[in-house]
């Protein structure tokens, strides 16, 4: 079955935002040996509604509204025809439109978030009549860059994470496809760079489902993500001590992506996503653009 080089490495970097850390790092498409894809993307994110526990508030605590700009560099390389490596490095600028953050005393924060690196292995391919089914496995790591995690404007939880992924990717000869990936994230402790004890960051379960169409000319997909911490506290609980990395985070997010090649080696992409339900998280809306360069080395 034909899977084009431009499709196998395109715009999955667009799906990475501050709220999802490294979710979406791995996808269902497997690049050929020597195929390298590099995506530079920009994401604009905004939210003024916030889930305090499971209760939706009309304004973000303290900041009222938060704007985020995410600049990301994503690369994917086929080590063999079954094994690939991926890397993502996001730089995030966040700004609150209200009072200063009570933890870091500012209305702005920026810097590199977690650097993510992963290996994906196509464990087995079932060949049916005009349809292929790939069994996908993956191992990835999120490496924090020593930012302050314990604030409303924080770039992330600043904890090292080991992520195990397994799933299925189904595609027919016409280019229609469906992907289901499930991950479990083992998270460590996070340093409070403002002083004080380290915080335990709850482990989390993550799942994504995608359906779409992929050809040598265009790529279109719709997707749904779900993440849930395995434990933690709500910020509305009496037991909440003000340590944000310890909270129980949950969200459901939907989105769509379209990619079109400009020349055989270069393509452009647009993406949209929105949190439709959540827990201890902002109800964000995200718009993304990206450029992907494909080559064989």
**For position 242, what pLDDT does the model report?**
78
Give one DSSP letter per residue of 195-206, joined into a string: SS--EEPPPEEE
- Whether the Cβ atoms of residue 117 and residue 79 lie closer than 8 Å to each other: no
Q: What pLDDT score does 196 carry? A: 66
The least confident of 28-42, 95-109, 187-201, 279-293 is: 187-201
DSSP assigned state of 264? T
**Average pLDDT for residues 163-178, to the nearest whole number?**
97
CA dihedral for 33, 37, 38, 41, sign (positive or negative): negative
pLDDT of the residue at 18 = 44
**Confidence tier at 13 by pLDDT (50, 70, 90):** very low
Spans of all domains in the chain: 5-296
Average pLDDT of the segment spanning 233-255? 90
Q: How far apart are CA 38 and CA 88, in angstroms?
A: 10
CATH of domain 5-296: 2.40.160.40
Q: In which element (H, E) is residue 7 found?
A: helix 5-8
Question: Between 148 and 78, whose confidence is greater?
Answer: 78
Q: Tell me which of 55-64, 163-172, 244-253, 287-296 is least confident.
A: 55-64
With a cut of 60, say whether residue 164 has pLDDT above it: yes
Q: What pLDDT, in 10s, does the model give residues 14-43? A: 444 444 433 478 999 999 999 999 999 999
- Give me the mean pLDDT over the 262-270 stretch: 93
pLDDT band at 4 (very low <50, low <70, confident <90, very high): very low
Determine the Cα–Cα distance for residues 77 and 65; give it in Å rounded to an integer. Answer: 38
Task: With a cut of 90, say whether residue 126 has pLDDT above it.
Answer: yes
Residue linked to tokens 């001590």: 241
Q: Select from 32, 17, 34, 37 the least CA-distant residue to 294.
A: 37
Residue 58: phi and psi, rounded to 5, are -80, -5
- 286: Cβ–Cβ under 8 A, 6 or more apart, which residues? 17, 43, 44, 45, 255, 271, 272, 273, 274
DSSP 9: T
Q: Which residue has the higher pLDDT, 41 or 1?
A: 41
CA–CA dist 41, 53 (Å, integer): 31
Residue range 165-191: mean pLDDT, rounded: 95
Query: What was the pLDDT predicted at 7?
Result: 53
Q: Is 5 helix (H, G, I), strand (E, B) or coil?
A: helix
Q: Which residues of 193-214 are buried (b: 16+ CB within 10 A; e: fewer)?
A: eeeeeebbbbbbebbbebebeb
Terminal C-alpha separation, the chain? 22
Closest-CA residue to 179 (of 214, 205, 204, 127):
214
**Residue 24 CB coordination number (10 Å):** 26
Encode pLDDT of 64-119 as tens digits: 889 999 999 999 999 999 999 999 999 999 998 888 877 778 888 899 999 999 99
Which one has a higher pLDDT value, 180 or 190? 180
């Amino acid at each position: 079955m034909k899977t084009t080089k431009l499709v196998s490495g395109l715009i999955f970097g667009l799906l990475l935002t501050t709220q999802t850390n490294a979710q979406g790092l791995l996808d269902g498409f497997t690049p050929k040996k020597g195929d390298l894809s590099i995506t530079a993307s920009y994401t604009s994110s905004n939210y003024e509604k916030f889930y305090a526990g499971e209760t939706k508030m009309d304004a973000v605590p303290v900041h009222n509204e938060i704007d985020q700009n995410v600049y990301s560099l994503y690369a994917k390389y086929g080590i063999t025809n079954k094994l690939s490596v991926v890397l993502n490095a996001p730089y995030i600028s966040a700004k609150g439109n209200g009072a200063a953050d009570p933890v870091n005393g500012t209305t702005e924060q920026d810097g590199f978030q977690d650097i993510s690196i992963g290996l994906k292995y196509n464990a087995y391919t079932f060949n049916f009549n005009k349809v292929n089914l790939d069994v996908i496995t993956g191992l990835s790591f999120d490496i924090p860059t020593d930012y302050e995690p314990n604030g409303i404007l924080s770039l992330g939880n600043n904890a090292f994470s080991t992520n195990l992924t397994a799933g299925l990717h189904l595609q027919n000869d016409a280019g229609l496809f469906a992907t289901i990936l499930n991950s479990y994230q083992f998270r460590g402790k996070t340093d409070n760079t403002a002083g004080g004890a380290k915080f335990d960051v709850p482990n989390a379960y993550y799942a994504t489902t995608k359906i779409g169409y992929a050809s040598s000319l265009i790529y279109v997909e719709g997707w749904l993500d779900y993440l849930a911490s395995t434990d933690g506290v709500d910020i509305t609980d009496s037991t909440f001590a003000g340590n944000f990395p310890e909270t129980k985070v949950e969200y459901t997010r939907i989105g769509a992506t379209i990619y079109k090649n400009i020349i055989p080696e270069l393509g452009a992409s647009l993406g949209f996503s929105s949190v439709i339900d959540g827990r201890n998280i902002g109800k964000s809306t995200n718009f993304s653009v990206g450029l992907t360069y494909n080559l064989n080395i």
